[in-house]
């Protein structure tokens, strides 16, 4: 019996120490991606992860997509818009623990992605990775790129 308890505790401890990253993506269709030359990023004043939008802009530019920041009331002039949300958590320092991206063509959602640290990353040191390290693969997948 003690062996079963020890094994169970070991598994629980390992799960807690390792943390877990969840990335869920519905990528943009390949044909649609070819048409995207500019994406308007609708400003979300609630997000306080300071380098989040610059990371998104930089990654879009690497694919030749111009990124333009706009306010909600100016988004009507854009064919493609990106809405985002992001949260940070604290453990010695702050770190990105959750983010969501939704890509629209006019008012229709055409792609989405969500990044999440399950259990806020537990004791895993990877939770302290930069926003760029965490979000670049998510943005790549959102755009249907490997």
* Segment 92-104, tens digit of pLDDT: 788 999 999 999 9
pLDDT band at 125 (very low <50, low <70, confident <90, very high): low
- Alpha-carbon distances of 61 from 55, 112, 116, 126, rounded to whole Å: 10, 19, 24, 26
What long-range pairs does 29-36 form, CB within 8 A, spacing at least 24?
29/110, 29/144, 30/144, 32/105, 32/110, 33/143, 33/144, 33/145, 36/65, 36/80, 36/143
Q: What is the pLDDT of residue 43?
A: 98
58 in a domain, yes or no? yes
Asked whether residue 134 is assigned to any structural domain, the reply reads yes
State which residues form the domain around 89: 21-143
Q: What does R_g of the chain's alpha carbons equal in angstroms?
A: 18
CATH of the domain at 35: 3.40.50
Whether pLDDT at 54 is above 70: yes
Measured CA to CA, the distance from residue 71 to residue 127 in angstroms comes to 31
Which pTM was predicted?
0.82
Look at residue 91 in the predicted model and tell me its pLDDT. 79
Please check whether residue 115 lies inside any domain of the structure: yes
Integer Cα distance of 51 and 102 in angstroms: 18
pLDDT value of position 143: 98
**Domain annotation covers residue 13:** no
Does residue 36 lie in a domain region? yes
Q: How many domains does the chain have?
A: 1
Domain presence at residue 52 = yes
Per the model's pLDDT, the better-predicted residue between 93 and 42 turns out to be 42
Say yes or no to pLDDT of 85 above 50: yes
Asked if the structure places residue 118 within a domain, the reply is yes
Is the predicted pLDDT of residue 118 greater than 50, yes or no? yes
Tokens of 142: 């959102």
Q: What is the pLDDT of residue 10?
A: 43
As a whole number of angstroms, the distance between CA 24 and CA 6 comes to 33
């Amino acid at each position: 019996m003690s062996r079963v308890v020890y094994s169970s505790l070991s598994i629980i401890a390992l799960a807690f120490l390792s943390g877990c990253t969840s990335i869920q993506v519905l990528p943009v269709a390949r044909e649609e991606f070819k048409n995207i030359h500019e994406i308007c990023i609708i400003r979300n004043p609630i997000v306080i992860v300071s380098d989040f939008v610059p990371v998104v802009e930089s990654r879009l530019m690497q694919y030749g997509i111009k990124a333009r920041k706009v306010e909600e009331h100016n988004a009507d002039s854009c064919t493609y818009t990106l809405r985002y949300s992001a949260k940070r958590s604290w453990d010695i320092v702050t770190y990105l623990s959750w983010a969501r991206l939704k890509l629209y063509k006019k008012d229709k959602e055409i792609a989405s992605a969500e990044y999440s640290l399950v259990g806020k990353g537990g004791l895993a040191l990877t939770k302290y990775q930069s926003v760029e390290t965490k979000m670049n693969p998510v943005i790549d997948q959102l755009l249907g790129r490997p």
